Amino acid sequence: MQQFQWLPEFETGIDVIDSQHQRIFEYLLEVDTAIRMQSHESIKEVVHSLIDYSISHNAFEETLMERADYPILAAHAKVHEAFRNRALSYEHRIENGEDCLKVAKEVRSDIGLWLTNHIQRDDKDYVPYVKKSLEGGFVSRMKKRFFA
């Protein structure tokens, strides 16, 4: 099985985003462990957590992009929406009684690859916009605090 792990080149420099991306890679490792243990209960639980967390993370990113007036937010959100539909379809397959070991193997490869590509292409693109908007907020808060 191809291993998916967080690498320094995935760093965006936006701490909150980097720690969320790292958490998703931790969930991927937890899925691998559950697959190795062949524990159906753990597999179901950790696959659910991985999917749930990834969808929340994408929504969080969209909030930051919106705040930053990111010009291609709509396109990025479409990519997230397609991911969401695919991720939820895995959950439905498990709920409908499909072999969760088989589904979990697909989930870890699909989400692992998706995340690796998405971080390096789509996410990297919004970084300067979001960074700027976060800095702006910080600077204006500091100004109010010191010069009000």
Choose one: 16-24, 46-54, 105-113, 120-128; the region binding Fe ion (CB under 5 A): 120-128
Cβ 132 to Fe ion shortest distance, Å: 18
Q: Which pair of tokens denotes residue 139?
A: 């600077």
| Interactions with Fe ion, residue window 51-90 (CB under 5 A) | 61
CB of 57 to Fe ion, least distance (A): 8
**Whose structure tokens read 């379809």?**
89
Interface with Fe ion: number of residues (CB under 5 A): 2
Q: Comparing C-alpha atoms, which of 9, 51, 56 is closest to residue 30?
A: 51
Residues making up the chain, counted from first to last: 148
Nearest distance, CB of residue 93 and Fe ion, angstroms? 24
Nearer to Fe ion, 32 or 61 (CB): 61
Handedness of CA 134, 137, 141, 146 (dihedral sign): positive
Under DSSP, the state recorded for 135 is H
Q: What residues make contact with Fe ion under the rule CB under 5 A?
A: 61, 123
